[in-house]
Structure 1
């Protein structure tokens, strides 16, 4: 079986878009509105999970059962206020373009809200640079479940046994764990606020500061080798 790379699956929030800290602020306000404030460090540690998992992960099952849907609704309303203050990281458009021009299939695979993903697409350049776009609404279980990347494999026409011909680019341990469950390697970016050691301990094969550094080192990275 060929080991040639065929596709790259890009996380969006914290990987291509500078959004993670706005998410922390929005979740912080949402929990506080409902009388259950949470430490910001716990919120930051959970960013990258789908919202369907985050409330329980941060505040526990009792809060999820009692207030989960209300907190998520508040988070979306508040984050929508910040959405137009978010922007693509330097090098993000160039990274998608470089990957596309290398002949690789490009997939945006985000556990996020489709509306937010639509805004990100506008910031990330021409649609011709990505072949498929997937959001959390396309699967039953969000990251760190492997559903989103499993669907991405289907979209690019690869069987699970060919997972070694795909690379994920992400910024959180949830991206790495989701990919590892399918046998996919992950390149970690630090621009989402996670340390290189955390991503490597989760299983990332290499780490780079941000999209711009990955573009600079593209030829020697797992995307270009």
Structure 2
């Protein structure tokens, strides 16, 4: 593994849900059931479009403001419990571990930045099975505001000890692209979360690939080639 001098250090900040782990649709179904249990009818397509956003923002966007903190927390907690039942069935997106290891070998400081809670992140890290390539992780338990706020990306920058212009984000949702942009970091997007290339490019993605494996296959001509 290459170790560049501090002034040449680069960080690859990478989302987890939908980017490295095939979990987006499990989250969609878990949120749908959590809303149903709380008495709300919400279409799965509307939920899917907001996956990647922090839980609090997602709930408010789907049922509107004005609900008590206890009600919102109950929905989020129900989602967490329901999603937890899928932990042992999660699978990595093709090429996930290989991409992380390839970036680490090239000297990138690999930091994961996810809106997931800590216990979900732990399960997904086991699914990816590439701890040897990961410098650090940041999750929703560590910041005041999740995506699309820039807090997670900024926390990842601090972990990597690099400025925004020495980092690059890889994610799968519009909210990943927006969060990275607000932190001053360019974002390459993947289609593995079910969001269209057009939407990702409109949000500001500098490049779009199918999966981590596809990005790895084109790494030498990608924004992460430098």
Shared fold, TM over 0.5: yes
Could you list the runs of 5+ residues in structure 2 that have no partner in the other structure? 1-6
Matched position secondary structure for 1:150: helix
Call closer, same or farther: CA 1:95–1:33 in 2, change over 3 Å. Answer: same
Distance 2:86 2:191 in 1: 22
Matched position secondary structure for 2:208: strand
- Match in the other structure for 1:31: 35
**CA positional deviation for 1:126:** 3.5
Distance 2:80 2:127 in 1: 20
- Match in the other structure for 1:87: 91
Call closer, same or farther: CA 1:5–1:195 in 2, change over 3 Å. Answer: farther
Count of residues in Structure 1 that have an aligned counterpart in Structure 2: 221
Matched position secondary structure for 1:169: strand
Spell out, residue by residue over 1:26-66, the C-alpha distance to the aligned partner (whole angstroms, 9 max, x if none).
00001001111201111001100111211001111134656
Matched position secondary structure for 2:13: strand
Q: Which moved more, 1:3-12 or 1:105-114?
A: 3-12
Report the TM-score when normalising by structure 2: 0.93
Does the aligned pair in 1 maintain the 2:9–2:109 contact within 8 Å?
Answer: no
Report the TM-score when normalising by structure 1: 0.94
**CA positional deviation for 1:197:** 0.5
Q: RMSD over aligned Cα, in angstroms?
A: 1.6
Distance 1:133 1:46 in 2: 22
Does the aligned pair in 2 maintain the 1:146–1:182 contact within 8 Å?
Answer: yes
Call closer, same or farther: CA 1:64–1:56 in 2, change over 3 Å. Answer: farther
